[in-house]
Amino acid sequence: MGDNKVVLVTGCAKGGIGFEYCKAFAEQNCRVFASDIAGQLGNMSDLQSENTEILELDVSSDKSVESAVSTIITKCGHIDIVVNNAGIGSTGPLAELPLEAVRRAWEINTLGQLRVVQQVVPHMASQRRGCIVNVGSVVATAPTPWAGSYCSSKAAVHAMSHALRLELRPFGVHVVLVVPGAIRSNFGSANMEKLGSQDWKLYKDFKDSIAERARASQSSKATDAGLFARHVVSKVLSPKPPRQIVFGHMTGLFSMLALSPLWVGDLFFSKRFNLNKKM
C-alpha cells in the first residue's frame, strides 16, 4: 500500500500513539521519519530500522521544524504524508490554570500543527500531491470540564483542518482530520505528572475530580494504540483518503453529546466530574 511513500510523524515517544503510527506505516513499506524533541529520542531506538529513521523535531520551534523538513527533502526529494501527532495534555479549571500552561498547550497542539503544515505545503504543492493528517480529539466538539485548555486547542485544530482541506484542494493535497476517542497510551500518566505541581485554591475541594479527568481516557476499555494506529494508517494510505477518521472507545457517546442540546452535556459532565455540589 505505502511503497516508496515518505512519511513524517511528529510526537513519536515510546508509549504514545505516534510510536504506533510509525510502526504501522513501516509495515506498509513506507519510508518513515519518526520525530520528537531531543529529550525523547533515546526511548525511540526501537523504531530505528531499514524503513524508519529517527529525527529531532520540536513543533514549537520554527527553526527545528524548518531543519527537519529540509533534512527529509534533501534525503528523499519529497514528503508524501505528514502526521501532526505531537501534542500535550492540559488539565485544570480555566479560572485558575496558569496562562503559561494554556499558551503551552496551544503552542504545541495547535500552532505546532500549523507550523509543520506551513513548512511542508510548498513542497507538496510543487509536486501536486500529498496528504496532511491533523490529529484532533472527540473533546473538540464536546468539551469537558477540567480540560478546557486542551479541548479548545483541539477545537482550533478541527477548524483549521476544515479550512485547510478546501484551501489545499487546488494543489492536489489531501487533508485528513483524525478524531481519536479514548486510546490507551502514556497520555494519562503524563497528565497526572503535571497535576502534581498544581495547588488549586478556589477548586481545592475538586482535586480528586480534576485528577479523574486527567486520567479519564485511560480506562480498561480504552482502545489499544496499535489497533488505532493501524486503522488510521490503512485509511490514510487508501487511494482516496477520507476527510475525517473517527475511531476509538467513546467516540459514539461524544458524537451524540456534540449533537445534543447543551443541557444534556451539562447534566452528563456535571455528574461525571462532581460539579453538582454547591460551595
Domain assignment present for 163: yes
At 229, list the grid cell: 494506529
- Side-chain-facing half-sphere of 106: CA atoms under 13 Å: 12
Q: What CATH number is associated with residue 102?
A: 3.40.50.720
Cα–Cα distances in angstroms (integers) from residue 191 to residues 94, 172, 196, 260, in the given order:
16, 38, 9, 28
Give the domain range for residue 188.
6-272
What pLDDT score does 14 carry? 94
Percent of the chain that is helix, strand, coil (3-state, to 5): 50, 15, 30
Domain assignment present for 278: no
Task: Dump pLDDT digits (tens) for 213-242.
Answer: 999 888 889 999 999 999 999 999 999 999
Domain assignment present for 279: no
What pLDDT score does 98 carry? 94
What pLDDT score does 147 carry? 96
What pLDDT score does 1 carry? 61
Domain count, the chain: 1
What pLDDT score does 2 carry? 60
Domain assignment present for 1: no
What pLDDT score does 170 carry? 98
Give the C-alpha separation, 4 to 34, whole Å.
Answer: 16
Tell which phi-psi region holds residue 161, choosing left (phi > 0), alpha (psi between -120 and 50) or beta: alpha
Domain assignment present for 159: yes
pTM score, two decimals?
0.95
Domain assignment present for 238: yes
What pLDDT score does 198 carry? 81
Contacts 24+ apart (CB under 8 A), 228-233: 228/17, 228/20, 228/180, 228/183, 229/17, 229/20, 229/21, 229/23, 229/24, 230/20, 230/24, 230/27, 232/21, 232/24, 232/133, 232/178, 233/2, 233/21, 233/24, 233/25, 233/28
Low-confidence ranges of the chain (pLDDT < 50): none
Domain assignment present for 277: no
